[in-house]
Amino acid sequence: MNKAEEISFPWGHVFVGCLVGGVGITLMGTVLGGWSILRLGLDAVLLYLAYVPVIVLIFTLLLFSVVSIKVLLYSARWARYLLCLILFLLAAPPAAFMILIPQILLGGGLLVLEKMNYRVNGWEWLFVLTYYPVVFYFALIWSIKLYRILRYGRPFSYLWKKVHKYANDYTGAEASLRKLSAGLSKRSRRREARLQLPPDDQ
């Protein structure tokens, strides 16, 4: 067990703060969209008021989930590894598409030509004789550069070192968790001070 796991966290104050935040977001949405709701009639207003507690609960749980995820990331190494894996899986498809654009254009052009049974007429010959050599040239050059980048630059090794450094940064995670805990506790004390009634005059 690392030190970050031994830090006490004000979960009760966090939930109350998230509840206050959920109420505030709901009230803000009500003020901004109130006129639109009123234009729909009394039934729409009553229906919205019936769903207000559900909306507050949804925003409260959403805010509480965000805080919980941050605490989990600061407390557990496996959570940081999992976050990096999720980000990698989300970024890999668009990144691969951008990297392999020349090859995709070449392959797509060949598929189109195959659909046409390799039969072209008139001006289509000009397009074929221009498009395919140019795309093939850029695909070949980019493939050579990509091979050199993968062999000598080792981007995956560099990426893994960054992930390993982030996931095993116990000192930074503990400092972030302490800062988050202190900030939430300070906010809760301020909220309690505002809600506390002034003493009666003697």
Residues 15 and 29 in one domain: yes
Residue with tokens 């207003």: 45
Residues 63 and 90 in one domain: no
Residues 91 and 132 in one domain: yes
Q: Is residue 163 part of a domain?
A: no
Q: Is residue 200 part of a domain?
A: no
3-state per-residue secondary structure call for 126-181: HHHHHHHHHHHHHHHHHHHHHHHHHHHHCHHHHHHHHHHHHHCCHHHHHHHHHHHH
pLDDT tens sequence across 108-132:
877 877 776 667 676 667 777 787 8
Measured distance CA(11)–CA(8) in Å, rounded = 9
Q: Is residue 96 part of a domain?
A: yes
Residues 2 and 69 in one domain: yes
Residues 66 and 88 in one domain: no
| Start-to-end C-alpha separation, the chain | 53
Residues 65 and 41 in one domain: yes
Q: Is residue 60 part of a domain?
A: yes
- Percent over 90 (pLDDT), the chain: 15
Residues 71 and 82 in one domain: no
Q: Is residue 185 part of a domain?
A: yes
Q: Residue 81, SS3?
A: helix
Task: Dig out the tokens for 112 from the structure.
Answer: 């189109």
Q: Assess contact for 122 and 148: CB atoms under 8 A.
A: no
Query: Residue 5: is its pLDDT beyond 90?
Result: no
Residue with tokens 């959920």: 22
Residues 49 and 69 in one domain: yes
Residues 16 and 52 in one domain: yes
Q: Where are the alpha helices (DSSP H) in 40-76?
A: 42-75
Residue with tokens 């890999």: 92
pLDDT tens sequence across 139-151:
888 888 888 888 8
pLDDT tens sequence across 55-98:
899 999 999 999 899 888 888 889 999 999 999 999 988 888 88
Residue-range definition of the domain harbouring residue 179: 1-75+170-195
Task: Dig out the tokens for 107 from the structure.
Answer: 């392959």
Give the mean model confidence (pLDDT) for residues 101-107.
Answer: 83
Residues 8 and 66 in one domain: yes
Q: Is residue 202 part of a domain?
A: no
Q: Count structural domains, the chain.
A: 2
